Amino acid sequence: MPTHIGILTSGGDCPGLNAVIRAVVVKAIKRNGWRVTGILEGWKGLTREGTTRPMTLPEVSGILGLGGTILKTSRTNPLSKENGVAEVLQKTAHLKLDAVIAIGGEDTMGVAYALHEKGLPLIGVPKTIDNDLPGTDYSFGFDTAVNTVVQAIDRVRTTTEAHKRVMVVEVMGRHSGWIALQGGIAGGADAILIPERPTDLDEVCSLVVRRHEGGKDFSIVVVAEGAKVTADRSASSDGTLILQDLAKDDFGHVRLGGIGQVLAREIEKRTGYETREVMLGHVQRGGSPTAFDRYLCTRFGLKAVELIEQKQFGKMVSLQGNQIVAVSLADVAGKTKTVPADLFEEAAVFFG
Ligand code: F6P
């Protein structure tokens, strides 16, 4: 019997998922003669009602540069459901899977680690535009998102400058400000707000005023959706998170978004400069992956198959420097990679 592997994509989608699927399927079938099954809609595909489909070489032909995921995705968390883990174990036994490749972000790696501890042979592949997974220099999708942000800033810059306005650009980043920092610096932002560093409104406004009094007549402020803003420097509060609504998903996450609008209103009120905002939202998660991401995804996929060949389970593939290596899921699960203070401080020379 040839080795039989399953592959799933879980959590928020991100450019490059199909490139990983393609690399896994091509190497598993062409090089090793294995059988590959696509598990549909993330972990949901391994629940009782979940569905799967056989993966063949024609299925993955032409998908290298395609955004989204041909396997679909969901934020289903088997750990949050009574008997959820047992269901997954039963389903994998029923499908006679020798190993599962789980492509996802921090939540997916947490589930993968828990299932691995229960005896499921698992390999993780780090995906998230937020770049907040530890153990890897970059998760795939981040580079594409940052390029989208830079293109957007380049575009809003001309209209902001023409109207002598302030423009607040809200980007994704729930717990970490990697997109805001890298996208903001590459786009020439005049102020950047990230979740790691609660910011006082007066501080942002004085940066804008300093710039305008220094001779500039427009400003670009980049804010991560998870940034916390305080209205009073003397207050002991850590800042307020702006939420879309209070409903939580299977992993306990609320929907963020809207801080840009609040910030724009406050900047205009406090400085008197006309201010607009733009929320880039899911535009950052859509479309075709960059060349960097396509190559990274391909190498991640090839490495995941190699780890299964070597029966090195409970690992996540990772980029360290120029090398694709394996790190233990135990060292990744439940952790978040945030922007270090010194990296933010070095960028601050461009603010105001
Ligand atoms: O996890 C990545 C992420 O892009 C976050 O930055 C963002 O808060 C979230 O996904 C949005 O997810 P959804 O598609 O469920 O609205």
* Residue pLDDT, tens place only, 34-70: 999 999 999 999 999 999 999 999 999 999 999 999 9
* Structural domain count, the chain: 2
pLDDT of residue 246: 61
Distance CA(186)–CA(333), nearest Å, equals 30
Give the distance (Å) from ligand 1 centre to CA of residue 244: 12
* Range 219-230 burial, b when 16+ CB lie within 10 A, else e: bbbbbbbbbbbb
Please identify, by atom number, the ligand 1 atom nearest to the C-alpha of residue 253: 8
**pLDDT tens track for 253-262:** 877 778 999 9
* Cα–Cα dist 284/273, whole Å: 28
95 and 160 part of one domain: no
Angle in degrees, CA 75, 258, 15, rounded to 5: 45
Ligand 1 binding pocket mutation candidate from 10, 77, 172 (most atoms within 8 A of CB): 172
Of all protein residues, the one whose alpha carbon is nearest to atom 10 of ligand 1 is 12
Mean pLDDT, range 183-198, rounded to an integer: 97
Question: Does 69 share its domain with 20?
Answer: yes
Token pair listed for 172: 């994704």
**262 CA distance to ligand 1 centroid (A)?**
20
Ligand 1: nearest atom to the Cα of 256? 8
**C-alpha to C-alpha distance for 205 and 24, rounded to whole angstroms:** 49
Answer whether 172's CB lies under 8 Å from 280's CB: yes
Is 130 an annotated catalytic residue? yes
Closest residue by CA, ligand 1 atom 1: 12
Q: Which residues contact 155 (CB under 8 A, 6 or more apart)?
A: none
Ligand 1, closest atom to CA 75?
15
Which position has the token pair 């997974």? 133
What local confidence, expressed as pLDDT, does residue 235 receive? 46
C-alpha–C-alpha distance, residues 233 and 30, integer Å: 61
**Contact partners, residue 73, CB within 8 Å, separation at least 6:** 9, 10, 11, 12, 13, 17, 41, 42
Q: Are residues 53 and 177 in the same domain?
A: no
pLDDT given for residue 253 in this prediction: 80
Ligand 1 site residues (CB inside 6 A) read: 12, 105, 128-130, 172-174, 225, 255-256, 285
Q: Residue 233's pLDDT band (boundaries 50, 70, 90)? A: low
Query: Which one is catalytic: 13, 107, 130, 293?
Result: 130
- Does 6 score more than 60 pLDDT? yes
pLDDT at 339: 98
Q: 144, 42, 50: which is closest to 102 by C-alpha?
A: 42
The two tokens of residue 130 are 């937020």
- 299 confidence band (pLDDT: 50, 70, 90): very high
Which atom of ligand 1 is closest in space to residue 284's alpha carbon? Answer: 4
Q: Which residue's CA is the closest to the ligand 1 atom numbered 12?
A: 12
Q: Is-contact 50 84, C-beta < 8 A?
A: no
The number of the ligand 1 atom at minimal distance from the alpha carbon of 105 is 1
pTM score of the predicted model: 0.95
- How many angstroms does the Cα of residue 12 sit away from the middle of ligand 1? 6
Atom of ligand 1 nearest to the CA of 225: 8
> Rounded to 5 degrees, what are φ and ψ at 173?
140, 90
Assess contact for 284 and 179: CB atoms under 8 A: yes
Q: What angle do CA 251, 257, 260 make, to 5 degrees?
A: 155
In this structure, the answer to whether residues 104 and 16 fall within a common structural domain is yes
| Residue 232 binned pLDDT confidence (cut-offs 50, 70, 90) | low
Q: What is the pLDDT of residue 30?
A: 98
Asked if residue 232 and residue 304 are part of one domain, the reply reads: no
Which residue did the predictor score with more confidence, 251 or 266? 266
**Among 13, 174, 223, 241, which residue has the most ligand 1 atoms within 8 Å of its CB, making it the best to mutate?**
174
Residue 263 C-alpha to ligand 1 middle, in angstroms? 20
Q: What is the CATH number of the domain that holds 178?
A: 3.40.50.460
| Structural domain of 300 | 4-128+289-331
Averaged pLDDT, 128-141: 98
Question: What is the structure's pLDDT at 10?
Answer: 98
Whether 149 contacts 284, CB under 8 Å? yes
Residue 336, in any domain of the structure: no
* Closest CA to ligand 1's atom 16: 255
Euclidean distance between CA atoms 54 and 312, whole angstroms? 24
CATH code, domain carrying 72: 3.40.50.450
Mind giving me the DSSP string for 305-344? HHHHHTT--SEEEEEETTEEEEEEGGGTTT------HHHH
Give yes or no: residues 235 and 260 share one domain. Answer: yes
> In this structure, are 260 and 315 located in the same domain?
no
Distance from residue 142's CA to the centre of ligand 1 (Å): 13
Could you tell me the distance, in angstroms and rounded to a whole number, from the CA of residue 203 to the centre of ligand 1?
Answer: 28
Instruction: Return the minimum-mean-pLDDT range out of 123-127, 191-195, 213-217, 234-238.
Output: 234-238
pLDDT for 257 equals 74
Question: Which phi and psi (to 5°) does residue 33 adopt?
Answer: 70, 30
Residues 294 and 275 in one domain: no
What is the distance of C-alpha 164 from the center of its chain? 33
Q: From the CA of 224, how far away is ligand 1's center (Å)? A: 12
Nearest to 105 by CA among 173, 55, 197: 173
- Do 65 and 152 lie in one domain? The reply is no
Does 255 lie in the same domain as 201? yes
With CA atoms as reference, report the closest residue to 265 among 221, 314, 211.
Answer: 221
Give the pLDDT of residue 236: 47
pLDDT for 254 equals 73
Q: What is the mean pLDDT of the chain?
A: 95
Residue of 130, 244, 284 to test ligand 1 pocket, by largest number of atoms within 8 Å of CB: 130
- Percent of the chain, pLDDT > 70? 95
Mean pLDDT to the nearest integer, 311-324 = 98
